[in-house]
Amino acid sequence: MNCSVAARCGGCQLTRMTYRQQLTHKQALVEKLLAPYCPVEPILGMTNPFHYRNKVHAALGVDKRGLPLSGVYAAGTHRIVPVKRCLIEDERASRIIQTIMELLPAFKLRVYNEYTGRGFLRHVLIRTGWHTGEILVVLVASSLEFPGKRAFVAELRQRHPEITSLVLNQNDRHTSMVLGRREPVLFGPGYLEDMLCGKRFRISPQSFYQVNAQQAEILYQTAIELAGFTGEETVLDAYCGTGTIGLCASDHIRRLIGVELNPDAVRDARENAQRNGVANAEFICEDAGRFMTRLAKQKQAPDVVIMDPPRAGSDMPFLRSLLALASKRVVYVSCNPETLARDVAVLCAGGYRAEKAVPVDMFPWTEHVETVVLISKGEIDSKKVRVEFSLEDMDMSGFQKGATYEQIKAYVLKHTGLKVSSLYISQVKRKCGLDVGQNYNLSKKEDAKVPQCPPEKEAAIMEALKHFQMLE
């Protein structure tokens, strides 16, 4: 791929390969990890693997002459690599970002400076609808005071009548999180709508939505086919986001229950059920592991469990409860084959059998790959295994609650450019009431003074802990 910033941007790792080579590479990766459990079908790739990203995030900064520039953070830093034209992002979004950059000086709007805390606009986030063509623009600013707002909005709309909604998001924190909580709507409905598998979905600025909608349809169809619904099933859609997979399946099942942690996404999911006239669905806002534990206690087994956890994979409370409930079929959708293989190992050791895996290329030019695995329960096997199997015998080292110190350090470095020590991480964890494990606070020398974590690093570590869901 002919991208001039590939090396400095770091977003795409496979630019030196042809698209066919990438597919072979991803196929081999999934096969290597899943070979012990099941056969892997050929990866489902794209015909045109460009400009597929429907979520575009531009970080803003200034160049040496003080002129505003937009782009991406160079890997592991907060230095901006200017990007005018990205080969994987929606081109309509790139053009809108360029216009916003041009308008800033004319409207005397300044780009936010992370070091001084002064200036207005921090990021621009754009989400586009694949089937609807709708475009939601989110201006992330340090304040809700937007001088010249009306004129700016009018000018932007005039130049880009394709924008269907504009939202101002206030992020006044000194952290690497892109979006803050307050987000007044400047025009339009304040959310995006898109179609998937013939259903219409509403997606709020903060809700998860697959970044490649074209391939998401293929992913969902694959998951639905593998589930082999008869129309009689009660289905749990765990980690359901805005309810997309379950609602796409709702015509083929008796009852749908979705569980999701993000309240915005749950609100969207309920709204999505209503607007598609789906009457057999309910959505619950809760940690998926906790919800499954409750189901297991009440012995209420769904017939089919669809699970689509984030990169960290599922957790032991969830998997243990799934084993106890012994649902007939599990369709595991995963964006990280390593945690997928780890979780499949647990389910197979507990009496399930992985039938087959289908990789789907949702992220061409990057090293990421999505995989759907059908896991089912053989009746006779399950009784036999239940006697033999004990969770206590298994190696659970991959499931330590949350992330390792190394993962936290890497996350903080990538998102803030700050280096933090294990000592600082342990101080912040202890402050938050988390288990620290080793006692990092004890200095080797008795009288040595222990340095204390500065506030900026503390905030960065807290963000990482939240990212890894170690904090509420």
At CB < 8 A and 24+ separation, what contacts does 223-227 make?
Answer: 223/249, 223/306, 223/331, 223/333, 223/372, 224/248, 224/249, 224/252, 226/331, 226/355, 226/356, 226/358, 226/372, 226/374, 227/304, 227/306, 227/329, 227/331, 227/374
DSSP 4-26: TTHHHH-S-S-TTS-HHHHHHHH
Q: Which of 183, 233, 303, 308 binds ligand SAH (CB under 6 A)?
A: 308
> Is residue 241 within the footprint of ligand SAH (CB under 6 A)?
yes
> Is residue 245 within the footprint of ligand SAH (CB under 6 A)?
yes
The residues, any chain, with a CB within 8 Å of residue 273's CB and separated by 6 or more, are: 243, 247, 250, 279, 281, 283
Tell me which stretch binds ligand SAH (CB under 6 A): 52-60, 96-104, 118-126, 254-262: 254-262
Of 111, 54, 58, 81, the closest CA to residue 363 belongs to 54
**What minimum distance in Å lies between the beta carbon of 408 and ligand SAH?**
17
Among the listed residues 9, 12, 248, 335, the single catalytic one is: 335
Tell me which stretch binds ligand SAH (CB under 6 A): 113-121, 154-162, 303-311, 413-421: 303-311
Count of CB atoms within 10 A of residue 115's CB? 7
**What minimum distance in Å lies between the beta carbon of 412 and ligand SAH?**
20
CA dist., res. 271 & res. 214, Å (int)? 22
> Is residue 363 within the footprint of ligand SAH (CB under 6 A)?
no
Look up residue 84 and give its two tokens: 């005018």
Kindly tell me which of 139 and 347 has the beta carbon lying closer to ligand SAH. 347
The amino acid that residue 369 corresponds to is: V
The amino acid that residue 459 corresponds to is: A
**What minimum distance in Å lies between the beta carbon of 314 and ligand SAH?**
8
- List the helix and strand counts (H, then E) for the chain: 14, 16
Total residues found in the chain within this entry: 472
Owner of token pair 């330590």: 400
**What minimum distance in Å lies between the beta carbon of 78 and ligand SAH?**
25
**What minimum distance in Å lies between the beta carbon of 180 and ligand SAH?**
17
> Is residue 235 within the footprint of ligand SAH (CB under 6 A)?
no
The amino acid that residue 85 corresponds to is: R
- Residue nearest ligand SAH (C-beta atom): 241
Tell me which stretch binds ligand SAH (CB under 6 A): 45-53, 145-153, 260-268, 366-374: 260-268
Kindly tell me which of 246 and 351 has the beta carbon lying closer to ligand SAH. 246
Size of the site for ligand SAH (CB under 6 A): 18
> Is residue 287 within the footprint of ligand SAH (CB under 6 A)?
yes
Tell me which stretch binds ligand SAH (CB under 6 A): 105-113, 144-152, 163-171, 307-315: 307-315
Count of CB atoms within 10 A of residue 357's CB? 27
**What minimum distance in Å lies between the beta carbon of 164 and ligand SAH?**
21
**Known active-site residue 86:** no
> Is residue 86 within the footprint of ligand SAH (CB under 6 A)?
no
**What minimum distance in Å lies between the beta carbon of 372 and ligand SAH?**
11
The sheet carrying 80-82 orders its strands as: 80-82, 68-73, 55-62, 121-128, 135-141, 165-170, 185-187
Q: Which of 211, 257, 265, 295 binds ligand SAH (CB under 6 A)?
A: 265
Q: Which of 34, 240, 249, 304 binds ligand SAH (CB under 6 A)?
A: 240
The bridge status of strand 329-334 relative to strand 68-73 is unpaired
Tell me which stretch binds ligand SAH (CB under 6 A): 55-63, 176-184, 234-242, 295-303: 234-242
CB 30 within 8 A of CB 358: no
Of 335, 313, 303, the closest CA to residue 227 belongs to 303
> Is residue 128 within the footprint of ligand SAH (CB under 6 A)?
no
Site string for ligand SAH, 182-211 (x = CB under 6 A): --------------------------x-x-
CA dist., res. 248 & res. 195, Å (int)? 10
Q: Which of 76, 82, 188, 310 binds ligand SAH (CB under 6 A)?
A: 310
Binding site for ligand SAH (CB under 6 A): 208, 210, 239-241, 244-245, 259-262, 265, 287-288, 308-310, 469
For the annotated catalytic residues, the residue numbers are: 335
